[in-house]
Every structure is written in C-alpha cells, then in structure tokens.
Structure 1
Amino acid sequence: MSLSPSTLSPPPLSLYVHIPWCVRKCPYCDFNSHQGRGELPFAAYVDALLADLDLDLPLVWGRTVQTVFFGGGTPSLMPGELIDRFLQGASSRLRFAPGCEITLETNPGTVEHGSFKAYCDAGINRLSFGVQSFDDGCLQRLGRIHDSSEATAAIKLAQDAGFDNINLDLMYALPGQNLAMAESDLEQAFALQPTHMSHYQLTLEPNTVFAARPPSGLPDEDGSWDIQEHCQAMLADAGYRQYEVSAYARPGRECVHNLNYWKYGDYLGIGAGAHGKITSGHDQSILRRWKLKHPAAYLEAADSERGIGGDELIATERRPFEFMLNALRLVDGFSLTGFEASTGVPRSAIQAQLQEAVQKQWLLVDGDAVRPTALGRRFTNDVVELFLTG
C-alpha cells in the first residue's frame, strides 16, 4: 500500500487523564482499575501526571487541546482542589481551546454536593455518571456500590451545583433483567433530563470475574436484541438522537471527546495505563504510546521515560483498519477526504473493500460520503474486518 505524504495532516487533539483507583472493582470491568486501600496518594499522583505530560509535550508542540477527559477507575474519588491543580498545570503547558469540553467520570456513590461545586470551580463542565441501572437488584448483581436513590440524588445535586451537560451510562441485557425493567431504567433516566445517554449491552469481557464465572439470568441473544430495538425507539421518541453505536444525545450535546476518538483524532494519554495516539505531519507518522499500567510502578517512574510502557509506529497498511474500527461506529459515517487526511492512504487503496461492503448492503457510498446501513450497524465487526490486511 502506498503512502500519500501530502494528505496526512494532524487531526484535532484531545487529552485523556486516567485515574486508576476505585472503591471496589466491578465484576464486569476490564479497565485498568485498582481497588483503593487506605489513603490514596492523589497529591503525588497529580505531580506524576504533570511530569508525565511534560515528557509528552514535544509530541504536540503548538497544538491546541480541544477536549479533556478524566476516566478511570473512579475519577470522582479525587478531591476537586487536586483536579483544579492538575488543570491549572496542564493549561499552563498546553493551549486549551475556548470552551474546551472537560469531562469527569463520576460514580454516584462517591460524591457529595461540595465535591460538585469544587469540580465546577476547577473547570469541569461535563459529568458522566456511571449509573448502569436504576434497579437495585440489578445494581447489586453488577457489584455497584450505589443504589438507585443515591444515583438520583447525586445527579440532582450536580444539577443544583450548576452542571447542565450530563451523561448517564446505562447498561442493558443485565442478569435478571427483562424488557419491562430495561424500559423502567430509561424512563427514570429521562425524568432526570440528562443531555446525553450512553446505552450499551453488558458484555463478558476476558479477564473479568464475569467471564470466569458468568452470572445467571442473562437474557439470550433474541431477548437482548428485543431490548436494544425497543430502547432505541424510546430514546428517539424522548429526543435523543443516536450518533454512535451506543451514544445518544440532545441536539448539540454529543460528546466532543469521544467523537474525536471515533473520527480517528489525536489524543495524549497520561496516567497509569493510559494510551495515546499522535499524528506527526513532518514525518508522516502515527505514533501510539502507552504508560506503565500499575499505579505504584507508574508513580515511581512517571517523571522519566521509564514511565512509558511502550511506543508503536502504526504501519501504513494497518491505518485503514484502525480508522474503520472507529469511524464505522458513527451513524453518519465518514468522508473519504477525511479518511485520506487522517491516514495518509489514498481512497483507491480501499475501493475493493468499499465495493464489497456496498454489495453486502453494509455501507452506502454517496460521492465523498460513506455511512453504515442499519444492517451494517448490526454487523460492525464484520464490516471492519474487510479492512484488516496481513
């Protein structure tokens, strides 16, 4: 596959910050999260994050950060004043765009009113609540530390503190859940008037407790599909437009940070186990970098290159697959011009795969625009695999 150097240009840049600790690791979770024991070293961790950022700065000199996202773990365990110290340090090192979207993932069982005010004062302007369900039995079976009343109270407290851009995470096809229970979850979510909803199926990921010991009472494939179709209709009727496989938003309230991922944008990843992707225009390269995974090892090494877990230059041949892995999650798809600019690969290199996907009624191609059909969205993995070479 030939590289077209003139077409590869750096896309928008985001900053991802990983907070690795949680109160208790959920049995379905495959993220880099570690149960906190005793007093957690958050002040030292902020120092490590800023040192980590300093080492990555040469990769992005002169570029502007469009979004910041604190993920975990449970970022809402970190005190607001330390979030503030980090953001002040980061914005003194990097140019933040005016109105930069800054999201904090939040566990409803870990925050109080004072915390929300402190987060708001620090510059957080978007919250993502990991509710998962409003059914207490489902929450217990998922190993969550909150109940439905705590979730409702936390969201209302956040709104009282001034947050008007709030995402709720809800899962479906849960142990012991039927269609009526999934409907009830959405109805209770709608009553809280979030601006964004993430609605996704519980999956048994490798190396999790649920993968080793699957819970009883999981809906079968047909039951899960019925829940998905019915809930998608409910979300649409409530004014939430689906713009990605599991993301629904009020008009203009799509998650800008996640959109950057799905459009094959760039992002610095700092914190234990964080991953980043950076495009370099001058040498036409795309670099993936990741950091040491275990918090103790990361804290000890973050101020030197020993904190870097690894670097990988993405081969030209793999870029179409990586691009499609993200872009085909979007309901509106992508442009071929954007594909060329983001990958440095000419559209002619993927013409055969596009034609096959069109013949299978998985994709629609209209001039420069490519988007998945409803059938294609059901078989996203199969569509993406067409672009996997070697």
Structure 2
Amino acid sequence: MALTLPPLTLYIHLPWCVRKCPYCDFNSHVAPDTLPEAETVAALLADLELDLPRAWGRTVHAIFFGGGTPSLFSAASIEAILEGVGARVRLAPDAEITLEANPGAVEHDRFEAYRSAGVNRISLGVQSFDDERLAVLGRIHGGEEARRAIDAVSSAGFDNFNIDLMWALPGQDVAGMQADLDAALSFAPPHLSHYQLTLEPNTVFAKHPPALPDEDTVWAMQDAAAERLAAAGYANYEISAWARPGRESRHNLNYWRFGDYLGIGAGASGKITLPAEQQVLRTRRRTIPASWLRAAADRSFIAEAEPVAAVDLAFEFMLNRTRLAEPMPLADFRARTGLDESALQPGLDRAIEAGLLERRDDVLLRTEHGAQFLNDLQAMFLPVAD
C-alpha cells in the first residue's frame, strides 16, 4: 500500500510558566525574571526551517501555541512568530491559530493585542472555579480571576475559544464538579476540554499523591458531566473534548486523525509523512529551554528523528484514532500507514468480539463501551512480541 499525505498543522511550544503545577507532566519550566523573547522568536523560526525540506509546498491548516504558558509572551512576539511562519510556509487563509493562556491580571489587557497579532482562538486554562480546589492544584489564579479572564476573551472579540476544566479533583464531589461545569457553561464556550485528573509519573502529585475521589464517585461524575454537556448542545467528539458543531479544535482533530504536524520549540514533537521513503517520521526537539536556545548557534534543535517501525504503525494509528467518536474509514488507515488492514489483526477481531468496536462495511465505529474502556481497546492493538 502507498502512503498518501494527510493534512498538516504546526505546533509551537513555549515552555515557560509562572509556576510548575504539581500535576503537570508537560515540558514546562519556571520562567526567568526576563523572558528571552527576541532570542526565542529567532530560534523558533530557525527551528522551523529545519523541517521545511520535508514539508515543502504543503499547506498548514492550523497553528497551536502550547506550553507552558504562551501568553507570557508579548503580542508583539507572537505577531513576529506568525509573520515569520507565514513567510516560510503556505498558510491556509482560514487557518485556525490557537494561543494557550492562563487567567492572571498580567495577561488580561492583552487579548485584543493577541487578536490583532493574528491569533483567532484562545484556549484558557481555568481548571476549576473553586478557590480551594485551585489552591490544591497549585494554580496562581482564583475563581473570580478565571471569570474575568473569560469575560476579557469575549470582550476582545474572540468568538472561538476553549475552556480547560479538570474534574475528579482532590476533595471534589459530584456537586462540586457540576458547579464547575455550570460556571463554565454560563459563558457559552464554543469548546470545552474536560479532563479527569490523573497522577502522572515524574510529577509532585505522583510523589505525594493527594486523596482523589473513589471509583464510584468518578463514574458518577463522568455520567453527570456527559448528560449536562449533551443537554447544553455539546458533542463529545474526542474522549476529553466537547464542542459545538464546527468548533472542534482543528490542530487537535488532525492530531487524533493521525495527520501530520510540525513541532518546534523546546521539547516539541512532530510527525511527518514521507511518501517517497514510505516512512512516517517522528521528531523531537531538545527538551531543556536553555539547551534548545543554544542550539540556534548550529541549528542542532532536533534531539530525535526516527521513522516509526512498521510493526508499531497500526498501534500508533489506533492509539490516536480511537480517541475520536467519529466513524473510522479503513481507507484512512491504509492511506496514513501504508499498511493493509490485515495489520490490525488480531486486535480488530478481539475488539469487535468484546463490543468495543463495530464494523460496517469498510468503516469502524467505536462503541459506547469502547469509549468507557478506551485503554483496554487501545491495548488490543499493541504489537505482539516475537
């Protein structure tokens, strides 16, 4: 089977935060007193140029500034990055350009400037509106600041924005989860990311675990949230993401569909399809911000660039694709992996027998049971050791 090119997006990582949250396993670092904005802008554009030969002539359909806290950077720096990107790649005229931001007084007067810089979507890391829960999570804002930040985003003219909420927090019950959800929905966000708090390795919470809600409470929270969000007109298009029609995150949707994305900035990962080589290449940048910045001298930003082994391609595709609720054409599997569907056996048979997937002609559908037991479904496609 021949590999064909999927859509392409761009991920830009800005790794600095005011404070490292105890639950966070992202590549984020406490910001220095003075951010190296000019140096970072120049390094990001040099970093992007390393990937241009692999993506020459392709259209970038979305840009996502993640972190860290990208909104610690000035609107002028964001604009300079976007202008530099536009000079180097073909950017779709309607490209969705997302900037992650956290509630905080320092940032509230800048949303208009970010919009003028070219950002057309804000993703706001609220996590909770409950001051006690926010303190446990190590957040630097309170519930009232979160409300003011959302108002500021709307007042700046953003009609496309996301609110990040976490649930199953330490000390939280079903009523507390619902209160957070109702607070978020009162702002009618086009998109809502609703993540269950999990204890990730190499975090403060992993070393010093807080008391989390029991399993029965977690299931009750999940059911109550799904019912409330569906009644409010949101579709659960991805396992932790809800959106109004047409407001799905384009970059994230492309990611879960096993599309291509360039990843630049400290610790950023990328995936690029190379039809001539019949390879899917994964890249990773240097992780430590200072090391990544020093790499600008000789453009040694890339720490790893390895093709995905054929034996792993089927698993990687299903690991991503099963997070989505939409139908899964097997034609997409063939086009984006270069493999015949026989590579999905025997995992596909097991998943169908267990009621986690259904097959209708040349299309797979994740069942409700499959969504509830997603980890089990994904594990069925792990490569079998020789």
TM-score, normalized by the shorter chain, greater than 0.5: yes
Is contact 2:174–2:221 with CA below 8 Å preserved after alignment? yes
Query: How far has the Cα of 1:303 moved from its partner?
Result: 4.9
Distance (whole Å) between structure 1 residues aligned to residue 370 and residue 107 of structure 2: 43
Query: How far has the Cα of 1:164 moved from its partner?
Result: 0.6
1:152 maps to 2:150: no
1:168 maps to 2:179: no
Match of 1:260 in 2: 254
1:366 maps to 2:382: no
1:132-153: CA deviation from partner (whole Å, max 9, x where unpaired):
0011100000000011111110
- Runs of 4+ with deviation above 6 angstroms: none
1:239 maps to 2:236: no
Match of 2:179 in 1: 184
Distance (whole Å) between structure 2 residues aligned to residue 226 and residue 129 of structure 1: 26
Query: How far has the Cα of 1:258 moved from its partner?
Result: 0.4
Q: How do residues 81-100 of structure 1 correspond to structure 2 at under 5 angstroms?
A: 81-100=76-95
Distance (whole Å) between structure 2 residues aligned to residue 285 and residue 304 of structure 1: 27
Is contact 1:76–1:110 with CA below 8 Å preserved after alignment? no
Q: 1:111 to 1:263 in 2, by over 3 A?
A: farther
Letter paired with 1:177: Q
Letter paired with 1:151: A
Distance (whole Å) between structure 1 residues aligned to residue 294 and residue 371 of structure 2: 44
- Percent identity between matched residues is 54
Match of 1:318 in 2: 312
Of residues 23, 42, 48, the one that matches 2:37 is 42
Match of 1:295 in 2: 289
Letter paired with 1:359: E
Q: How do residues 17-32 of structure 1 correspond to structure 2 at under 5 angstroms?
A: 17-32=12-27
Query: How far has the Cα of 1:317 moved from its partner?
Result: 1.3
Is contact 1:133–1:148 with CA below 8 Å preserved after alignment? yes
Match of 2:263 in 1: 269
Q: Which runs of 5+ in 2 are unaligned?
A: none
SS of the residue 1:116 aligns to: helix
Query: How far has the Cα of 1:321 moved from its partner?
Result: 0.3
Is contact 2:263–2:284 with CA below 8 Å preserved after alignment? yes
Distance (whole Å) between structure 1 residues aligned to residue 87 and residue 382 of structure 2: 41
Q: 1:201 to 1:226 in 2, by over 3 A?
A: same
1:286 maps to 2:280: yes
| Of 292-301 and 331-340, the range deviating more from structure 2 | 331-340
Is contact 1:104–1:126 with CA below 8 Å preserved after alignment? yes
Is contact 2:285–2:304 with CA below 8 Å preserved after alignment? yes
Match of 1:204 in 2: 199
Query: How far has the Cα of 1:353 moved from its partner?
Result: 2.0
Match of 1:60 in 2: 55
Query: How far has the Cα of 1:269 moved from its partner?
Result: 0.3
1:134 maps to 2:138: no
The Cα RMSD (Å) is 1.1
Q: TM-score, normalised by structure 2?
A: 0.98
Query: How far has the Cα of 1:111 moved from its partner?
Result: 4.6
SS of the residue 2:292 aligns to: helix
Size of the aligned set, in residue pairs, is 384
Letter paired with 1:69: F
